[in-house]
Amino acid sequence: MAGKPEPLTSLDRSGLQPGRIAIFLDFDGTLAEIAEHPDAVSVPTATRDVLARLADCMSGAIAIVTGRPICEIDRFLQPLCLPVAGIHGLERRDADGAHRAAAVDASLIDMLAEKLKRFQESHKGIVVERKSASVALHYRQRPELAEAGMAWAHEAVDGHEGLQILQGKMVIEIKAGKETKADAVAAFMAEEPFAGRMAVFAGDDVTDEDAFNEIARRGGISIKIGGGETVAAFRIEGVGAFRQWLSRLADDFENRQLTE
């Protein structure tokens, strides 16, 4: 049930120990500002440096959990290479670099892409993104088409089992399987270097709410970026403010290491 998150500024960072927490981060709307086109986003060099510093202080217990494919996260964060769960948990790369991916019927994804492209062809400003295990319909340039796009997505999946429709910020995604970001967090938490640590998850979208619930179940810390109803325990106003918070956290960790 949605509650009233506390401001993230009220969280005492001194209680966060680099050897005792695991950090999981959404990408779009959390590390990168949301753009009209999926390829138009970027992550500042300073933020990539902060992530690298955190990974070093935390023995690698930091991962990206996103709807994007792993290869795209690598491209935006290069040369940094972190553990990543992509396509809402359908693919995952662990801290040792091993890849795991759910089996997906590529012909079914192709069929869905063709159906959504027909909607794109008749509505200027719509972007259809075909991923390995899902298809996303982005309507950021045409927000008035949210209802029509959702109706089209439901028609596209009609008669096909094992598909899930997710609605995020200005995007509708049809994915194979039932995996969620919560499943991805649970999988990471069963492995080193994440196992035995307190989980921290930050995200901005409705697709992050499953992960927030998983974090609450584990007694961890959940952070909502921006507005909207949420079950997260804490909230911060936007991407820029959250990047600054991560930077201060990295400073804290490094200063403690110098004094130990």
| % of the chain residues with pLDDT over 90 | 81
For position 104, what pLDDT does the model report? 85
User: The whole model's pTM is what?
Assistant: 0.90
The residues spanned by each domain of the chain are 20-102+179-259, 106-176
User: With 80 as the cut, is the pLDDT of residue 259 above it?
Assistant: no
Determine the Cα–Cα distance for residues 163 and 169; give it in Å rounded to an integer. 20
Going from the C-alpha of 43 to that of each of 39, 58, 73, 90, 92, the distances in angstroms are 12, 21, 10, 24, 21
Give residue-wise pLDDT tens across range 43-70.
999 999 999 999 999 999 999 999 999 9
For position 39, what pLDDT does the model report? 85
Give residue-wise pLDDT tens across range 124-169.
999 999 988 889 999 989 999 999 999 999 999 998 888 989 888 8
Mean pLDDT of all residues in the chain? 93
CB 25 within 8 A of CB 202: yes
The lowest-confidence range among 78-87, 156-165, 221-230, 243-252 is: 156-165
We find that the CATH architecture of domain 20-102+179-259 is: 3-Layer(aba) Sandwich (3.40)
Q: Could you tell me how many residues make up the chain?
A: 260
Give the CATH number of domain 106-176.
3.30.70.1020
- List the helix and strand counts (H, then E) for the chain: 7, 13
User: With 70 as the cut, is the pLDDT of residue 260 above it?
Assistant: no
pLDDT confidence of 193, banded at 50, 70, 90?
very high
User: With 90 as the cut, is the pLDDT of residue 35 above it?
Assistant: no
Determine the Cα–Cα distance for residues 205 and 193; give it in Å rounded to an integer. 26
Rg (CA), the chain: 18
- Residues acting as catalytic residues: 26
Determine the Cα–Cα distance for residues 100 and 84; give it in Å rounded to an integer. 11
User: With 60 as the cut, is the pLDDT of residue 1 above it?
Assistant: no
Residue found by looking up tokens 């005492």 in the block: 12
